[in-house]
Chains A and B, each alone.
Chain A
Amino acid sequence: MANSSVENIDVRPVNKKENRALFKKREKIQPKKARGNFRRLKWIIMGVTLAIYYITPWIRWDRGDSGPDQAVLIDLARERFYFFFIELWPQEVYYITGLLILAAISLFLVTSLFGRAWCGYSCPQTVWTDLFIFVERMIEGDRNARLRLDKAPMSVSKLVKRIAKHSIWIIIGVLTGGAWIFYFADAPTLLRDLFTFEAPIIAYSSVAVLTATTYVFGGLMREQVCTYMCPWPRIQGAMVDEDTLTVTYHSGRGEPRGPHKKGEPWTDRGHCIDCNQCVAVCPMGIDIRDGLQLECITCALCIDACNDVMDKVDLPRGLIGYDTHAGQFDSNPERKLDIRFIRSRTIAYGLILALVGAVMLFTLLNRSVLDVNVIRDRNPLFVTLSDGSIRNGYTVKILNKIHETRQFQIEVEGLKNAQAWIESGPPVGLPMIVTVPADALSSYKLFISAPAENLPSKTLDIDVVVTDFKSNERDIQETSFKGPEK
């Protein structure tokens, strides 16, 4: 070995240009364990994100008798989305659109600042793959042990290891799919129903499908999901510019690379000792020294691996590190990062983010808890009554979006001597009073009649005004009153 303290690893990146072929089979990647700050950061992020995912459905939130006490719940049967103090009805799905816009722009902003930080640290594919690799390492050992095991003929101990690994993977898959369904029903009830086989079929099939996808994506497909299935690597090129901070091999400092014997001078050569540690730890199986590439998810594990090596050969850290595209040719090991966070691109993303966020916040804070729809009958358009007066029919839908029963007053403006009644029955006159149960939609058939001589023309614009007795919240709906040709 060239340097006693650094192992030189025989590993080839999977995406070398010379190896490429249209129908090439996948080369299995057995990433080596990395140690360092970024590895630690990734463990912490994995813990936090998985905790959020598993714990969220179990958080309780009091909404009184008429709402569920689960903080985050997508109630498909009752058509509600609950998120702590926010409750959305299906017609307010545009909030979700706003949320998706915010998520997309945030992703753009983060990518233009820090490259694919989302991919490297918090994407579920990365988190679960990391978890699956962790399980694999616990059972089968690190890279070299796994490579040996792959080559070894089938034996009892190999079989036991394989079964143990796949079983734990499947258990993780079941837990993943299992946690998912708790977002769609009351978690404690559903958990009990799941074990007493009283849960709906869709719950079991969702768990089965998500178990399968987790197992296949995290255990079997891994980097292929990122490279071949995900559109984001293709988009990143448009988001990244010369000021973007991303995982960079400082080729100016590293090249020309070559093996290095302890005690040899560092003159006339680069700092890269070509130990291939950075390639061995890469979960994508690539060589960061080839530059920024489509496959790189910027997980930063190569930084940890290289820093380790630099420590051993007594060179400053950071041969591979976060830097801008421009910085990779700088040969100074003590290079100071000079990052321009404020650029036209980040300002634009920031402004859009602030704008959409402000609009969302404004609409959410001013969200009406009363929604009224008035639909006039089209068939027949009007009815002549025996005393010669004209009657029109309307369907009035009142949405009471709070968890209290409310009384509303219905008035009609713009029509003289109007009579009104709900369903059939004697005219009750206006204003009329209706009661809408908590968190519910009530639909009323409203009939309005007026003497024919009060209609100046064929069509009269009228307003149906619905007022909350207590809060005086008003909703005015424009509609029309029709009669025969004059």
Chain B
Amino acid sequence: MRPVAVVSTAQRQEPELSGLTEVELMAPLIEKARSAVGLTQADIGFTCSGSSDFLAGQAFSFVMTLDAVGPVPPIAESHVEMDGAWALYEAWVKLQIGEIDTALVYSYGKSSPGSIRDVLATQLDPYYVAPLWPDSWALGALQARVLLEGGVVSERRMAEIAARSQSHAAGNANAVRAGTPTVDDLLDTAFVADPLRPHDCAATADGGVAVVLAADDRAGDLSDRPAWIRGIDHRIDAHHFGVRDLVAAPSAALAARHAGLGSDRVDIAELHSPFTTSEHLLTDALGLDEAAVTINPSGGALAGDTLMASGLMRIAEVADRISAGTADRGVAHASSGPWLQQNLVCVMGAD
């Protein structure tokens, strides 16, 4: 495949961005990502974004946000109703065709206007499941129960994952949940959805992220140390609850294999895990050796989960570390749907 790299990123994440519209949130981030590599919109070959009308509570919500790009004169542009990681995938595909050399990808989400755990219930089977309004924590708890009873994880292991996330997040200005709790402290807290405690559930956030991609020599022109995409793939599992295996994440493992993870050593992994239990599953599905790989150096999605942007933020976090020289190889992961139904894996490196 044609070499494509992340050459610039900009992101912002807070517990609640109640004073800004999506346009006001994204315009400075898009400008920051472009200008950091000396580009204007006229230099961008293709633009792609990801967002959700159900988060915004408005049909066609992405249309107004397009103003943040400044699409005059007209631009080659598309939008996915998915996490921005899939928008990046679409842009990567366009770059493979070989007619353009640069792309802008952005995504954003504000879950604060609605009740996110109820909003997510509308993703479920509309005839049999959604009318029961199972909230997203309850679904996470169902899976956690299966994992605990099956001896796949322990509550202590879950708390260890949470503690690690929070301590890594202490160095991340965009994280919304950071600290240095002990595992015993965490295990002392009350359940929110038994067997899940607050620290087991990702900290919901508002935010956005913009990324510039460049291909071939253009990447080297724009960045001293581009974060090359060595492999990228995404897969989906079945949706219906009766056919899901809750102790595995088969589409994550499949995407990892197709992205070439496993043939490469990686230094860091950024995982979009909505729960501590899903982080455990993902570590296994991606075959990550925790002794050799730093998991979620930013704190990961557990430390701040901006729905529709979390996956692209994971890619940005890995790219930033590669470009800064603090990592040589890394893997970023994005997920969507209940119980990690859909997964994207992006393997990146300095070479």
Q: Do A and B bind each other?
A: no
- Give the interface of A toward B (CB within 8 A): none
- Give the interface of B toward A (CB within 8 A): none
